[in-house]
Amino acid sequence: MTNRFISSFWYADALGLLATLNHTGFCRQTLIGGNYGLLNRTTAHPNPDFFIAQLFHDLMGERVLSFTSDVKKKGLRTYAQCESGLGGNATLLLINVSPTVTFTAQIGAMAAGMEVFVLSAGDGTKAKWEGLDSQHIKLNGQMLQGTDEQLLPPLVPKAGAAAALSCGPLTITFARVRGVKACE
């Protein structure tokens, strides 16, 4: 784990995989400290993994759903869970580690609507890393930055089409899907 966006792929995948194995908790070594805390050790601003943890906590519930993909070998990891409270919402987690391929997940008739949170690298400096060395993160194309008054920026989704979900290269996507019968 590091304080860079590249670590978020591992962290999101670990959270999703452990949930499928019935683990209900995940401990990080530290909240703040070193280069691997959820918070920057000198500024206390959130590192990229903080936002993965926040969205996973807020959107993914305890009931794991079967959501399979035939493209895992090509760079897409997929997970799905009912939201807590079973109000008919589920959240899909798609982790695209391919630097060139955009994947489309066919949601089909199971969804009545969707809210999408697409996380990508912020302002990385190493071109060969395609920005993955960034200590910052973008949500739906906008840099997530706190202010002196509000350290944690709001995590605002964008509306998504209910039939399909596009997952661009080197992104982590959480999609809250409404109207999922298995989650009622």
Pairwise CA distance, residues 96 & 103, whole Å: 8
Q: What is the mean pLDDT of residues 140-156?
A: 80
**Proportion of the chain in helix, strand, coil states, percent, rounded to 5:** 20, 30, 50
Residue 143: pLDDT over 60: yes
Q: How far is CA 64 from CA 5, 7, 25, 47, 164, in A?
A: 26, 24, 14, 27, 20
The predicted pLDDT at position 45 comes to 78
d(CA 60, CA 48): 18
pLDDT in tens, 79-101: 999 988 768 888 999 999 998 89
d(CA 91, CA 125): 32
Supply the pTM of this predicted model.
0.86
- What is the rounded CA–CA span in Å between residue 166 and residue 140? 12
State residue 124's pLDDT score. 63
3-state secondary structure of 27: coil
Question: What tens digit of pLDDT does each residue of 102-127 get?
Answer: 988 877 655 567 899 999 988 766 66
The angle, 0 to 180 degrees and rounded to 10, between the axes of the packed helices 48-59 and 6-20 is 30
Bridge partners, 51 (sequence order)? none
* Residue of 115, 120, 1, 105 lying closest to 58 (CA atoms): 115
Report the sign of the C-alpha dihedral through residues 1, 15, 88, 176, in that order: positive
Report the helix count and the strand count for the chain, using DSSP H and E. Answer: 2, 10
Once rounded to an integer, what is the mean pLDDT over residues 122-139? 76
